[in-house]
Amino acid sequence: MGPLIRLLRPEQWLKNFFLFAPLIFSKHLFQGAYLGLAAEAFLVFCLLSSTVYIFNDIADRELDKLHPTKRNRPIAAGTISIPKAIGVAIVLLLVIAALMTMQNPKFLFIACLYFVMNIAYSFFLKNVILVDVFVVAAGFMLRVLAGAFAINVQVSEWLVLCTLFVSLFLSISKRRGELMLVRNSENFQGRAVLREYDVEFLDQMMTIAASGMAISYALYTVAERTISVFGTSSLIFTTVFVLFGIFRYLHLMRTRKTEDNPTHMLTTDPVTLLNVAAWFMVCVFIIYFSEIKIWLGVR
């Protein structure tokens, strides 16, 4: 089961938690019916992303064999054959099809768009400069939209825009990590598109994405619709966690010069994990303050 689990890359399922953003910010987090629909959507995207990773590993198997860490992936290492991997992907697609019969047409459209876009990315779009990072960023935006459609709520344009900048920031940093890995490896040359990038250009793009992320999130917290829905403008105070998270990530990226996996970098840093947890708890407290007072019997 070890190679099969590694083939599915469950550690990457963390990205699918973006689906829960509409649930949290629509004030339905503690309502069972909404939570169940969001959890089902999360499961669909976990299986869908695993299917995409299988096809991506098949497409990249020769290049992965030369990568310092990716050579340990099951297909590149030869612990799982291509026919068996395709069989697993077919089983996953059948399970996904069964689960999506319980979802609405809008969610179905977003899920199909996500799958087609990522298959196209795996086989040729990732070799086109700038298009590669924007496709990855679009994947995060589709997750947020899928989460909104799954529970049939309206999602703020500012929240979608903030997601765009967050995902651009992470995908650009991934390219920067890959470029640094190529520089520090004698035998690994990386994918062809890396020759189109340089560290200075990527640093400039990261600065723009980080600025856009901070500004769009701050504007979301003070937007008229946000204040109207939550009944408070206090969400602006959570911006400090966003800024700290950006600066902490930039620090990690500079010190871990060959790290090309943002998910691993974020989940292995205790300070970042504490910051995310603090941001989440403060957001929940502010958004659900009136409900919390009722639960505690406070008038």
Does residue 249 carry a pLDDT above 80? yes
pLDDT of residue 293: 59
Rounded to two decimals, the pTM is: 0.90
Say how far apart CA 13 and CA 19 lie, in whole Å: 11
Tokens coding 2? 């070890």
What is the band of 253 on the pLDDT scale with cuts at 50, 70, 90? Answer: confident
Based on the domain organization, do 138 and 167 belong to the same domain? no
pLDDT of residue 9: 92
Does residue 192 carry a pLDDT above 80? no
Long-range Cβ contact pairs of 92-101 (< 8 A, separation 24 or more)? 92/47, 92/48, 92/50, 92/51, 92/54, 93/51, 95/47, 96/44, 96/47, 96/48, 96/51, 99/40, 99/43, 99/44, 99/47, 100/44
Based on the domain organization, do 136 and 171 belong to the same domain? no
Say how far apart CA 55 and CA 78 lie, in whole Å: 15
Based on the domain organization, do 69 and 173 belong to the same domain? no
pLDDT of residue 282: 95
Based on the domain organization, do 26 and 104 belong to the same domain? yes
> What SS3 state is found at 190?
coil
Tokens coding 26? 């629509």
- Which one of 154, 175, 194 terminates a domain? 154
Based on the domain organization, do 238 and 287 belong to the same domain? yes
Average pLDDT value over all residues in the chain: 89
Give residue 29's identity as a one-letter amino acid code.
L
More confident residue, 35 or 66: 35
DSSP 8-state class, residue 268: T
- Which one of 154, 171, 188 terminates a domain? 154
Say how far apart CA 65 and CA 67 lie, in whole Å: 6
Structural domains of the chain, count: 2
pLDDT of residue 297: 63
Based on the domain organization, do 22 and 51 belong to the same domain? yes
- Cβ atoms of 216 and 158 closer than 8 Å: yes
- Which one of 154, 186, 201 terminates a domain? 154
- Cβ atoms of 158 and 141 closer than 8 Å: no
Based on the domain organization, do 3 and 150 belong to the same domain? yes
pLDDT of residue 182: 77
Give residue 21's identity as a one-letter amino acid code.
A
Say how far apart CA 11 and CA 77 lie, in whole Å: 19
Q: Which domain, by its residues, includes 234?
A: 156-299
